[in-house]
């Protein structure tokens, strides 16, 4: 079955944000409405004023028609009525501007505040969350879903208030003219209410599907662009484009299914409006002929019924906007309810880790969501200013161990201590601000070199930045670039070589004056000579700091106080370099390979 893996992959993404949408999600935005209540009230006041003024226009027309019919109308009189209408229209224009500013302005404020909250919340979530959720899904929430919340809380609320007020007021004016005729005219309307109810749950479901498909597409584009080099190297452009087109087709299909409902709703509500009109022409016309109402009343009545068609149509639209808003809000709420797996301590933490003494003793560690433990029977004791080396086969658990020490995953009470303090009693901030971490996969921002080096210390001076760049043996290459430290390095450092990226990451860590430094395979992409010069030049920086250095090569570890040899999640050997050469077969082998210029593993030809 060709291509079946990819299909499985995309079909199963992100089921966890699929939530039962309910109106309860409104509690997420309720505080914003409360906070901006006075602004909103003024806005609605202006809106209602516009409605009232609009309803007065048919009255003016009625006066004109009645005057004409009774033969009392003069040219000046008609001109005066015309001027009234223009004046009313002008005032309407002013107040329309006012409500748009206030209410739609509010909805934009709400959108941006919610977006900020969402972003801060995302930043608080940990690695475990991002392993479960795709970035594309999060992006879709931050764009499509937020904008449907914005639309519902701006235009949706406006249309709702407007429709209800305008509808009631129009009915009021109609009742004033002729109660029985009003009842006849509005009699077809309950059909509309029933129709809206019947269709709305279906609308809801279909809209949710549209949003989910959009999430999938966003994620697809993101991952394809993020790995564009891979896509090209494997000649996958056409295949990726085809898959995207297929997803697009599903998106269109879902949208059409949604549009089918509108396609039914709007014509039916228009038809019901017109059916009312027919009734008014027939019955109202008879009343006018019989003299129960004047010709002016008849004309005004028709105008009111005409005005009524908007609230009727609007109700369907409003129902839809609210449904969409609530669906999106529920999706956003599900994300906001995500808790970081790594909980922080309550209240402030006055501890400072200054010495960098580390003790770690644990039976097992299992990644959240995994079954098999990745680490077993780990016991580490590092005194202040000592260097711990870690070697081991790929997949042995070296990075996992560093992640735990860097406080990226939760650990049990009484297992990990910094300066003798249990890590679970320290705030994340306290722990993390004691550690400089150079992760194995270097992360760079699409910004300048200077920005990337100074990431942890944005106020660093130019001299400081240059000093650490020299120590990481990258200064010369930076100044050779046309814009030096201000060169932009492209998306995730695409314009740099692998070795340059690594050295940038090391420079970044050296800039931070912290008692503990963890370097996870930070020199794997540089040649031995560069490696040698970096080791020599950073030695003085590392002096006095507690260092944990993971390496596939033995050279950076030769002077370590202790080296751990890891295999299959366990520490299988430990000791300084000289001892390990004697009693660790693994260590002795890699040492021999790396120092004897061993080559010819690939037996070609
Ligand atoms: N986030 C994760 N969730 C589940 N399992 C993971 C996760 N990260 C790593 N693992 C698993 O944990 C084991 C150890 O991985 P780890 O990255 O610690 O190895 P490593 O020693 O750093 O390897 P390398 O030398 O290739 O960097 C591997 O079997 C890997 O599949
Ligand atoms: Mg690793």
Distance linking the first and last C-alpha atoms of the chain: 36
374 close to ligand 1 (CB < 6 Angstrom): yes
Q: Is residue 346 packed enough to be buried (19+ CB in 10 Å), middle (13-18) or exposed (0-12)?
A: exposed
For ligand 1, pick from 127, 391, 399, 518 the residue to mutate: most ligand atoms within 8 Å of CB.
399
Lowest mean pLDDT among 126-130, 184-188, 278-282: 126-130
User: pLDDT for 432-452, tens place per residue?
Assistant: 999 999 999 888 888 899 999
Last residue of a domain, one of 458, 493, 513: 513
564 close to ligand 1 (CB < 6 Angstrom): no
Q: Is 572 found in the same domain as 447? A: no
CATH assignment of the domain containing 258: 1.20.1560.10
Calculate how far, in angstroms, residue 193's C-alpha sits from the geometric centre of ligand 2.
Answer: 62
| Confidence band for 2, pLDDT divided at 50, 70 and 90 | very low
What pLDDT is attached to residue 16? 43
What pLDDT is attached to residue 35? 93
Q: Is 181 found in the same domain as 91? A: yes
Q: Summarize the confidence of residues 202-221 as an average pLDDT.
A: 86
Assigned token pair, 522: 């930070």
Q: Is 493 found in the same domain as 393? A: no
Q: Whose CA is nearest to atom 9 of ligand 1?
A: 400
Q: Is 382 found in the same domain as 286? A: no
What pLDDT is attached to residue 318? 84
Calculate how far, in angstroms, residue 531's C-alpha sits from the geometric centre of ligand 1.
Answer: 25
* φ/ψ of residue 545, rounded to 5: -100, 155
For ligand 1, pick from 126, 129, 366, 367 the residue to mutate: most ligand atoms within 8 Å of CB.
367
Calculate how far, in angstroms, residue 575's C-alpha sits from the geometric centre of ligand 1.
Answer: 23
User: pLDDT for 233-247, tens place per residue?
Assistant: 888 889 999 999 999
344 lies in some domain: no
Calculate how far, in angstroms, residue 397's C-alpha sits from the geometric centre of ligand 1.
Answer: 5
Q: Is 358 found in the same domain as 308? A: no
Question: Across the beta sheet with 516-520, what order do the strands follow?
Answer: 435-438, 516-520, 546-550, 387-392, 562-567, 570-575
Examine the pLDDT at 110 and tell me if it is beyond 70. Answer: yes
273 close to ligand 1 (CB < 6 Angstrom): no
What pLDDT is attached to residue 597? 56
Q: Is 330 found in the same domain as 213? A: yes
Q: Is 270 found in the same domain as 397? A: no
12 lies in some domain: no
What pLDDT is attached to residue 20? 56
CATH assignment of the domain containing 497: 3.40.50.300
Examine the pLDDT at 537 and tell me if it is beyond 90. Answer: no
Calculate how far, in angstroms, residue 371's C-alpha sits from the geometric centre of ligand 1.
Answer: 13
Q: Which residue has the higher pLDDT, 201 or 425?
A: 425
Calculate how far, in angstroms, residue 99's C-alpha sits from the geometric centre of ligand 1.
Answer: 57
| Segments of 15-173 assigned E as strands | none
Residue 469, H or E segment: helix 462-471
Calculate how far, in angstroms, residue 375's C-alpha sits from the geometric centre of ligand 1.
Answer: 10
Nearest to 192 by CA among 261, 107, 268: 268
What is the 8-class DSSP label of residue 343?
A: P
For ligand 1, pick from 374, 376, 405 the residue to mutate: most ligand atoms within 8 Å of CB.
374
Q: Is 403 found in the same domain as 284? A: no
Distance CA 508, CA 501 (A): 11
Q: Is 358 found in the same domain as 313? A: no
Q: In a 3-state reduction of DSSP, which class is residue 510?
A: helix
Calculate how far, in angstroms, residue 165's C-alpha sits from the geometric centre of ligand 2.
Answer: 65
What is the 8-class DSSP label of residue 66?
A: H
Which ligand approaches the C-alpha of residue 374 most closely? 1
Nearest to 127 by CA among 449, 499, 437: 437
583 lies in some domain: yes
Which ligand approaches the C-alpha of residue 130 most closely? 1
Examine the pLDDT at 605 and tell me if it is beyond 50. Answer: no
Report the b/e string of 205-230 with b at 16+ CB within 10 A: ebbbbbbbbbbbbbbbebebeeeeee
Distance CA 120, CA 88 (A): 47
26 lies in some domain: no
Range of the domain at 498: 443-513
440 close to ligand 1 (CB < 6 Angstrom): yes
What pLDDT is attached to residue 602? 54
Q: Is 239 found in the same domain as 211? A: yes
17 lies in some domain: no
160 lies in some domain: yes
Q: Is 257 found in the same domain as 135? A: yes
Q: Whose CA is nearest to atom 4 of ligand 1?
A: 367
403 close to ligand 1 (CB < 6 Angstrom): no
211 close to ligand 1 (CB < 6 Angstrom): no
Q: Is 201 found in the same domain as 56? A: yes
What pLDDT is attached to residue 559? 84
397 close to ligand 1 (CB < 6 Angstrom): yes
Q: What is the mean pLDDT of the chain?
A: 86
What pLDDT is attached to residue 383? 94
Last residue of a domain, one of 336, 361, 393: 336
Calculate how far, in angstroms, residue 508's C-alpha sits from the geometric centre of ligand 2.
Answer: 19
- When divided into structural domains, the chain yields a total of 3
Q: Which residue has the higher pLDDT, 197 or 308?
A: 308
Last residue of a domain, one of 306, 336, 366: 336
Examine the pLDDT at 457 and tell me if it is beyond 70. Answer: yes
396 close to ligand 1 (CB < 6 Angstrom): yes
154 close to ligand 1 (CB < 6 Angstrom): no
270 close to ligand 1 (CB < 6 Angstrom): no
**Number of neighbours of residue 351 by Cβ within 10 angstroms:** 14
What pLDDT is attached to residue 399? 94
For ligand 1, pick from 341, 394, 396, 400 the residue to mutate: most ligand atoms within 8 Å of CB.
400
Rounded to two decimals, the pTM is: 0.72
User: pLDDT for 7-41, tens place per residue?
Assistant: 333 333 334 444 455 678 888 899 999 999 999 99
392 close to ligand 1 (CB < 6 Angstrom): yes
Q: Summarize the confidence of residues 114-124 as an average pLDDT.
A: 91
219 lies in some domain: yes
Q: Whose CA is nearest to atom 30 of ligand 1?
A: 395
Calculate how far, in angstroms, residue 397's C-alpha sits from the geometric centre of ligand 2.
Answer: 7
Which ligand approaches the C-alpha of residue 397 most closely? 1
Calculate how far, in angstroms, residue 551's C-alpha sits from the geometric centre of ligand 2.
Answer: 9
CA atoms 512, 517, 519, 520: torsion sign: negative
Q: Whose CA is nearest to atom 19 of ligand 1?
A: 395
508 lies in some domain: yes
Nearest to 523 by CA among 541, 540, 536: 536
Distance CA 354, CA 401 (A): 22
398 close to ligand 1 (CB < 6 Angstrom): yes
Lowest mean pLDDT among 46-50, 114-118, 551-555: 551-555
What pLDDT is attached to residue 166? 87
């Amino acid at each position: 079955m060709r291509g079946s893996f990819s299909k499985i992959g995309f079909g199963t993404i992100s089921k966890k944000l699929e939530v039962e949408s309910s109106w309860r999600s409104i509690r997420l935005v309720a505080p914003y409405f409360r906070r901006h209540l006075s602004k909103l009230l003024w806005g609605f006041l202006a809106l209602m004023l516009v409605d009232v003024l609009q309803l007065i226009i048919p009255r003016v027309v009625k006066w004109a028609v009645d005057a004409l019919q009774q033969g009392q109308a003069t040219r000046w009189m008609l001109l005066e009525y015309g001027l009234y209408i223009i004046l009313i229209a002008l005032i309407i224009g002013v107040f329309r501007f006012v409500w748009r500013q206030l209410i739609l302005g509010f909805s934009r404020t709400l959108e941006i505040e919610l977006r900020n909250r969402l972003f801060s919340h995302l930043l608080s979530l940990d690695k475990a969350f991002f392993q479960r959720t795709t970035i594309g899904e999060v992006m879709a929430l931050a764009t499509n879903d937020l904008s449907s919340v914005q639309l519902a809380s701006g235009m949706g609320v406006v249309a709702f208030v407007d429709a209800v007020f305008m509808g009631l007021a129009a009915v009021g004016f109609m009742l004033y003219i002729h109660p029985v005729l009003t009842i006849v005219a509005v009699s077809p309307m309950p059909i509309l209410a029933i129709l809206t109810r019947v269709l709305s749950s279906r609308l809801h479901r279909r809209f949710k599907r549209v949003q989910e498909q959009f999430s999938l597409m966003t994620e697809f584009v993101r991952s394809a662009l993020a790995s564009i080099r891979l896509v090209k190297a494997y000649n996958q452009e056409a295949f990726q484009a085809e898959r995207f087109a297929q997803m697009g087709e599903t998106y269109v299909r879902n949208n059409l299914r949604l549009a089918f409902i509108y396609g039914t709703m709007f014509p039916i509500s228009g038809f019901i409006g017109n059916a009312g009109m027919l009734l008014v022409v027939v019955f109202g016309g008879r009343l006018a002929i019989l003299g129960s109402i004047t010709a002016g009343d008849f004309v005004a009545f028709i105008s009111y019924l005409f005005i009524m068609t908007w609230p009727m149509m609007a109700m369907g639209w409003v129902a839809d906007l609210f449904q969409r808003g609530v669906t999106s809000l529920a999706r956003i709420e599900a994300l906001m309810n995500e808790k970081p797996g790594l909980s922080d301590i309550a209240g402030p933490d006055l501890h400072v880790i200054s010495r960098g003494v580390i003790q770690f003793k644990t039976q097992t560690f299992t990644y959240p969501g995994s079954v098999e433990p990745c680490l077993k029977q780990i016991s580490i004791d590092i005194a202040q200013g000592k260097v711990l080396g870690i070697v081991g086969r790929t997949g042995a658990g070296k990075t996992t161990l560093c992640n735990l020490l860097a406080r990226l995953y939760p650990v049990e009470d009484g297992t990990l201590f910094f300066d003798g303090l249990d890590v679970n009693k320290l705030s994340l901030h306290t722990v993390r601000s004691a550690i400089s971490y150079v992760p194995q996969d270097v992360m760079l921002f699409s910004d300048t070199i200077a920005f990337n080096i100074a990431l942890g210390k944005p106020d660093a001076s130019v001299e400081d930045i240059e000093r650490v760049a020299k120590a990481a043996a990258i200064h010369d290459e930076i100044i050779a670039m046309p814009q030096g430290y201000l060169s932009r390095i492209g998306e995730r450092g695409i314009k740099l070589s692998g070795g340059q990226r690594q050295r940038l990451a090391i420079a970044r860590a050296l800039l931070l004056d912290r008692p503990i430094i963890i370097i996870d395979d930070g020199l794997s992409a540089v040649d031995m000579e560069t490696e040698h010069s970096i080791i020599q030049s950073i030695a003085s920086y590392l002096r006095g700091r507690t260092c944990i250095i993971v390496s596939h090569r033995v050279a950076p570890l030769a002077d370590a106080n202790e080296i751990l040899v890891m295999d299959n999640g366990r520490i299988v050997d430990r000791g300084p370099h000289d001892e390990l050469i004697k009693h660790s077969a693994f260590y002795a082998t890699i040492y021999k390979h790396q120092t004897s210029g061993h080559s010819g593993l690939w037996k070609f030809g």
